[in-house]
Amino acid sequence: MAVIPAEEMTVETQKNKLTEYKTIYEGGIGEITEKKSRFIANSCHIESKEEAEEKINLIKKKYYDAKHNCFAFSIVDKEGNLLEKSSDDGEPSGTAGAPILNVIRKNNLNNVLIVVTRYFGGILLGTGGLTRAYSNTALESIENGKIIEVENGLQARLEIEYSENEKFKYYCEKNSIKIVETEYSENIIQKIELNEEEYNKLISKSMEINRQLPFKIKQIGIICRKFVKKVQ
């Protein structure tokens, strides 16, 4: 692995596109003490570089009196491209950001941010000690979080009559379709998230003459493509 300057953040974009991956659904916290230095790791789910930077700044404000706030994150965009970024935040080159990123990679996680805060205890740990401390704390934060698998999917807009809404909600519950937002107007507009297979089944069933769906769709269309929780 290439050596990273202490104050520099590395950016790496990989061309291979992902169709499914694991991510943190609920963030976790890890904490260890090594030779009087206290290490606190916060892991969380992110959707963009901007969101990552915002959460990094929030953690820095929370631990404003800490010596270092080192981080790494990995993001998959809507096209499946991978972006990774890390920072040593003043620690010796390659002893903090790179080990945290390595934990993310080894656990096959994406759309994940891990920030490890260090309160210096007055005793130098050496490069090996720092690498182990940052790695172990990052790993503990993952283990204390909740991990899910996600896959290619999309967000869609669907219009139904009021009389069909309860049947529609029951269908969504049984077929792992997430209702994101409900709008009440002349008819009910449901914004949903689902995988591509379920969307195609929804379209196919709604167009069949004998209408296998338990409800009638007035209109349906794709809003955008995105990754959704994988159906087990």
pLDDT of residue 3: 32
pLDDT of residue 2: 35
Among 71-80, 93-102, 221-230, the range of highest mean pLDDT: 93-102
CA 110/CA 85 separation, integer angstroms: 12
Taking 90 as the threshold, does the pLDDT of residue 79 lie above it? no
For the chain, give every residue range classified as CATH 3.30.230.30: 10-144
- Residue 114 near residue 142 (C-beta atoms within 8 A): yes
Report residue 177 CA to chain centroid gap: 19
pLDDT of residue 12: 42
For the chain, give every residue range classified as CATH 3.30.70.240: 151-229
Fold for 10-144, please state it: Ribosomal Protein S5; domain 2 (3.30.230)
Q: For residue range 133-184, what is the model confidence (pLDDT) as tens digits?
A: 999 999 999 999 999 888 878 899 999 999 999 999 999 998 889 999 999 9
Taking 70 as the threshold, does the pLDDT of residue 230 lie above it? yes
**In the structure, what pLDDT confidence band is assigned to residue 42 with cuts at 50, 70 and 90?**
very high
Q: Which residues pair with 13 in a beta bridge?
A: 83
Mean pLDDT within 111-137: 94
Our CA angle for 163, 168, 172, nearest 5°, is: 165
Q: Class of 151-229 per CATH?
A: alpha beta
Per the model's pLDDT, the better-predicted residue between 175 and 1 turns out to be 175
